[in-house]
Amino acid sequence: MNEIQTLIAAHRTIRAFTDDPVPDETIARCVTAAQQAASSSNVQAYCLIQVRDAARRAEVRALSGDQPQIEQAGAFFAVCAEERRHAIAAEDAGQRAERNFESFLVAVVDATLFAQNLVLAFESEGLGTCYIGGLRNHLADVDRALDLPPYVYPLYGLCVGVPADDPGTRPRFDPRAVWFDDRYPSDDETRRWIAEHDERAAAYYAERGAPGRDWTGGLLRKVTKRLREDALAFYRAKGAGID
Ligand X SMILES: Cc1cc2nc3c(=O)[nH]c(=O)nc-3n(C[C@H](O)[C@H](O)[C@H](O)COP(=O)(O)O)c2cc1C
| Integer angstrom CA distances of residue 110 from 17, 36, 239 | 28, 11, 18
Can you count the helices (H) and strands (E) in the chain? Answer: 10, 4
Asked if residue 216 binds ligand X (CB under 6 A), the reply is no
Distance CA 103, CA 40 (A): 10
Q: Near ligand X by CB under 6 A, which window of 40-48, 132-140, 173-181, 186-194?
A: 132-140
- Count CB-CB contacts under 10 A for residue 32: 10
Q: Near ligand X by CB under 6 A, which window of 9-17, 50-58, 83-91, 199-207?
A: 9-17
Asked if residue 204 binds ligand X (CB under 6 A), the reply is no
DSSP three-state, residue 101? helix
Asked if residue 15 binds ligand X (CB under 6 A), the reply is yes
Q: Out of 74, 128, 134, 154, which residue is the one contacting ligand X (CB under 6 A)?
A: 134
| Identity of the residue, 87 or 116, whose beta carbon is nearer to ligand X in the bound complex | 116
User: Quick check: 231 and 108 in contact, CB under 8 A?
Assistant: no
Instruction: Give me the helices (H) in the chain, please.
Output: 3-9, 24-34, 54-63, 69-72, 84-92, 101-123, 139-146, 187-207, 215-223, 231-237
Asked if residue 129 binds ligand X (CB under 6 A), the reply is no
Please give the size of the binding site for ligand X, defined by CB under 6 A. 12
* Contact letters for ligand X, residues 155-194 (x by CB under 6 A): -x-------------x------------------------
Asked if residue 67 binds ligand X (CB under 6 A), the reply is yes
Q: How far is the CB of 111 from ligand X (least distance, A)?
A: 11
Interaction site with ligand X (CB under 6 A): 11-13, 15, 67, 130-134, 156, 170
